[in-house]
Chains A and B, each alone.
Chain A
Amino acid sequence: MAPLEKADLLQGTLDLLILKVVALGPVHGYGISQRIRQISEQVLQVQQGSLYPALHRLEKRGWLEADWGESDNGRQAKFYRLSAKGRKQLAAEEDTWNRLSRAVMLILETAR
């Protein structure tokens, strides 16, 4: 599938995607961008200029926790994982997203 432009990503969606990806297990910034791309079948490509500010913002809010560790190929990397607060936030944002997308789908289907 063709990648979407950055502007096409809804405000606040990136936070949700990051939380969801991190919930799969501790992962560094590079891994997050790779996972988002792979899982979305190359549609979503997160810009580094958005990813790292978002990661640090989520860490400051206490939704993510970070530790330095060794990556697969032996480099020092900052690994992010979900905090208990983050898990709650993820559940809330997933719920909001589901309701929103269902509402949009309903409108698209009736207007057909």
Chain B
Amino acid sequence: MIGWRRSRRKPAPDHPLEQELEFHIAELTESYIANGMGREEARRKALLEFGGTEQVSQRVRELHVSVLFEALRFNLRSAVRFLRKSPLFATAVVVTLALGIGANSAVFSAIDAVVLRPLPYPNGNQLVAIYQQDSKGRGCQPFCRACAP
């Protein structure tokens, strides 16, 4: 919602915060030059007085992150309130989600054990299964002592 509101405003420069701070330093530099200072020295003094662009922009950025968390907390709170207001709907949603997630993880763990995971023996790829059949080609059960000739 924040992004949508901002996008309707005038397009801001690529790095608005950096540019905003840079503007401040440039103006400060100009004011020192107007007082009769050399450009180099004025710029240095302005940067010194500004006290580290990086620290300032860091503090502003932290602020935006905390605002984001505030929005998240607000969304969560209103979600809980909404669910409380209609418990039947909430139960239906919870049951649907539980069944969906449960079925999904059941299918996945089956596929994982059968297909994805290697067999729990050393050299599992050399493992063979032996079957036997009689001379007429009729199938027999897996190889065993009892039906050997």
Q: Which of B7-60 contact A (CB under 8 A)?
A: 9-10, 12-13, 16-17, 19-21, 23-24, 26-28, 30, 49-52, 55-57, 59-60
Asked whether B23 lies within 8 Å of A47 as measured between CB atoms, the reply is no
Asked whether B23 lies within 8 Å of A28 as measured between CB atoms, the reply is yes
Q: How far is the CA of A77 from the CA of B17 in the complex (A)?
A: 10
- Lowest 7 A-B CB distances belong to which pairs? A30-B27, A30-B24, A78-B20, A53-B59, A77-B23, A56-B60, A60-B67
Q: Which of B90-133 contact A (CB under 8 A)?
A: none
A76 to chain B, nearest CB (A): 7
Q: A53-B63, A71-B23, A78-B23 are in contact. List 9 more A-B contacts (CB 8 A).
A: A28-B24, A29-B24, A47-B51, A48-B24, A52-B59, A53-B56, A60-B67, A73-B30, A78-B19
Asked whether B23 lies within 8 Å of A48 as measured between CB atoms, the reply is no
Is B64 interfacial (CB 8 A cutoff)?
A: yes
With a cutoff of 8 Å between Cβ atoms, the chain A residues found around residue B60 in the complex are 52-53, 56
Asked whether A29 lies within 8 Å of B10 as measured between CB atoms, the reply is no
User: A56-B60, A60-B67 are known contacts. Are A68 and B10 too (CB-CB below 8 A)?
Assistant: yes
Q: How far is the CA of A56 from the CA of B20 in the complex (A)?
A: 11
Q: How far is the CA of A33 from the CA of B55 in the complex (A)?
A: 18
With a cutoff of 8 Å between Cβ atoms, the chain A residues found around residue B55 in the complex are 49
Asked whether B56 lies within 8 Å of A56 as measured between CB atoms, the reply is no
Q: How far is the CA of A48 from the CA of B46 in the complex (A)?
A: 11
With a cutoff of 8 Å between Cβ atoms, the chain A residues found around residue B17 in the complex are 52
A36 to chain B, nearest CB (A): 14
With a cutoff of 8 Å between Cβ atoms, the chain B residues found around residue A41 in the complex are none
Q: How far is the CA of A52 from the CA of B17 in the complex (A)?
A: 9
